[in-house]
């Protein structure tokens, strides 16, 4: 109910701001107009935006993990660090007008290789029965943000796949992988906060969700590799 009320409040606030002078002035700026109207340009800007968010999230996980000696947090921080490096690689490919098919395929290989230590992370989480809780109402905001990122990630994967730019599409797939890992992290926090079933229930749920996330990521990596090879044959 708190999350639903927050969404309604945000929608009402957005509707009130639409006709305001400040919003009209912001929209009149050329780069803002281009961002709103040019889908490819918006995708390009989102690569940089996603990289900045990933780097901040990586730093947060690593600092908290090292300070409180939490292996799960440290593992997540390293995982997001590798995803950030993959985004930097895509940015370099995009700026240099590199071979889109090759960059897309290399990203698929990278996700496939990254899935191996990710499996170890999930096993570590299950074995140690990792769990943590957010203070106050932060968990509701975290849940809202996680569900938002998942929905947006899925929509963007489909949209950017249709426009045919494989580098932008690969960037959105990385966002999708990040969203899946966020779901897994959120689940452990929600069970710690609200569940009364004890450690065995959390371990079971972490096993199920962790297995689903692992399979989805490896299927995504396989799809990228196979799709890039098929595309190469078509172009040849």
Q: How far is CA 112 from CA 10, 79, 160, 180, in A?
A: 38, 13, 21, 15
Q: Can you tell me the distance from the alpha carbon of 17 to that of 5, in angstroms, rounded to the nearest whole number?
A: 18
Q: Is 164 left (phi over 0), alpha (psi -120 to 50) or beta?
A: left
Torsion of CA 208, 120, 83, 70, to 10 degrees: 90
Quick one: three-class SS letters along the chain? Answer: CHHHHHHHHHHHHHHHHCCCHHHHHHHHCHHHHHHHHCHHHHHHHHHHHHHHHHHHHHHHHHHHHHHHCCHHHHHHHHHHHHHHHHHHHHHHHHHCCCCHHHHHHHHHHHHHHHHHHHHHHHHHHHHHCCCCCCCCCHHHHHHHHHHHHHHHHHHHHHHHHHHCCHHHHHHHHHHHHHHHHHHHHHHHHHHHHHCCCCHHHHHHHHHHHHHHHHHHHHHHHHHHHHHHHHHHHHHC
| Cα→Cα distances 213→17, 85, 86, 118, 218, Å | 38, 21, 19, 10, 9
CA distance 126 to 34: 46
Q: What pLDDT shows up at residue 156?
A: 81
Q: Per residue of the chain (236 residues), give pLDDT as tens.
A: 666 776 777 777 777 776 677 767 777 787 777 776 776 677 677 778 778 877 887 887 788 778 877 777 788 888 888 988 998 999 889 888 778 899 999 999 999 998 888 888 888 778 877 666 665 666 776 777 777 778 878 888 887 777 778 888 898 899 899 888 888 878 877 887 777 777 788 888 889 998 999 999 999 999 999 988 776 543 44
The model scores a pTM over 0.95: no
Task: Give the Cα separation of 151 and 137 in Å (integer).
Answer: 22
């Amino acid at each position: 109910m708190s999350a639903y009320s927050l969404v309604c409040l945000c929608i009402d606030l957005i509707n009130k701001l639409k006709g305001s002078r400040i919003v009209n002035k912001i929209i009149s700026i050329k780069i803002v107009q281009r961002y709103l109207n040019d889908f490819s340009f918006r995708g390009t800007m989102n690569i940089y935006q996603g990289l900045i968010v990933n780097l901040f999230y990586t730093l947060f996980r690593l600092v908290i993990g090292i300070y409180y000696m939490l292996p799960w947090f440290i593992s997540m921080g390293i995982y997001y660090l590798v995803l950030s490096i993959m985004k930097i690689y895509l940015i370099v490919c995009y700026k240099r007008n590199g071979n889109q098919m090759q960059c897309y395929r290399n990203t698929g290989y990278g996700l496939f290789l990254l899935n191996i230590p990710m499996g170890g992370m999930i096993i570590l989480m299950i074995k140690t029965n990792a769990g943590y809780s957010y203070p106050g109402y932060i968990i509701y905001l975290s849940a809202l943000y996680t569900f938002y990122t998942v929905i947006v990630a899925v929509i963007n994967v489909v949209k950017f796949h249709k426009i045919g730019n494989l580098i932008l599409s690969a960037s959105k797939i990385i966002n999708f992988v990040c969203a899946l890992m966020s779901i897994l992290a959120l689940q452990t926090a929600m069970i710690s906060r609200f569940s009364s079933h004890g450690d065995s229930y959390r371990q079971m749920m972490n096993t199920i969700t962790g297995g689903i996330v692992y399979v989805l990521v490896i299927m995504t990596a396989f799809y990228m590799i196979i799709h890039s090879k098929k595309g190469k044959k078509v172009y040849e």
